[in-house]
């Protein structure tokens, strides 16, 4: 069966711009979580969506937002990009958020 699909895979943006990343979970999975991975901070939780509602939120500024659609696909938006937002953004899907979480290939965002 198809895995978790993230688009785009690579992105280069300029400081001050905004960006939207997309995540399509495994069919039947209703929980989608987002993580940021950087060499300095490691893997950090951004937020989790379940049935179109944000269920958990990490400690990131309000510039980071997300949403989930009725088909469980999720988008993450970062506004007013900063150089420090350069990272690998990973999304994970699971059935309901309590079982195994499967990760997508990630979106590599570079802010210049």
Q: Tell the burial category of 13 from Cβ atoms under 10 Å away from its Cβ (0-12, 13-18, 19+).
A: middle
2, 42, 62, 70: which one contacts another protein (CB under 8 A)?
42
In the bound state with another protein, the residue whose beta carbon lies nearer, of 55 and 63, is: 55
As measured in angstroms, the least distance from the Cβ of 80 to another protein is 25
As measured in angstroms, the least distance from the Cβ of 47 to another protein is 9
Instruction: Check binding of 43 to another protein (CB under 8 A).
Output: yes
Tally of CB atoms within 10 A around 53: 9
List the one residue out of 56, 88, 57, 53 whose CA is nearest residue 74: 53
19, 25, 31, 64: which one contacts another protein (CB under 8 A)?
31
Give the DSSP letter of residue 27: T
Euclidean distance between CA atoms 80 and 2, whole angstroms: 33
Applying CB under 8 A, the residues found at the interface with another protein are: 31, 33, 35, 42-45, 48, 50, 55-56, 58, 90, 92, 94, 96-106
């Amino acid at each position: 069966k198809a895995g978790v699909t993230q688009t785009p895979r690579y992105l280069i943006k300029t400081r001050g711009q905004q960006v939207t990343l997309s995540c399509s979970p495994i069919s039947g999975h209703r929980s989608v979580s987002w993580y940021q991975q950087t060499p300095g901070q490691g893997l950090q939780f951004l937020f989790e969506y379940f049935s179109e509602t944000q269920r958990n939120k990490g400690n990131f500024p309000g510039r980071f937002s997300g949403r989930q659609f009725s088909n469980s696909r999720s988008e993450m938006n970062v506004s007013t990009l900063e150089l420090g937002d350069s990272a690998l953004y990973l999304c994970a899907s699971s059935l309901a958020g309590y079982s195994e979480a499967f990760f997508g290939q990630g979106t590599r965002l570079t802010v210049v």
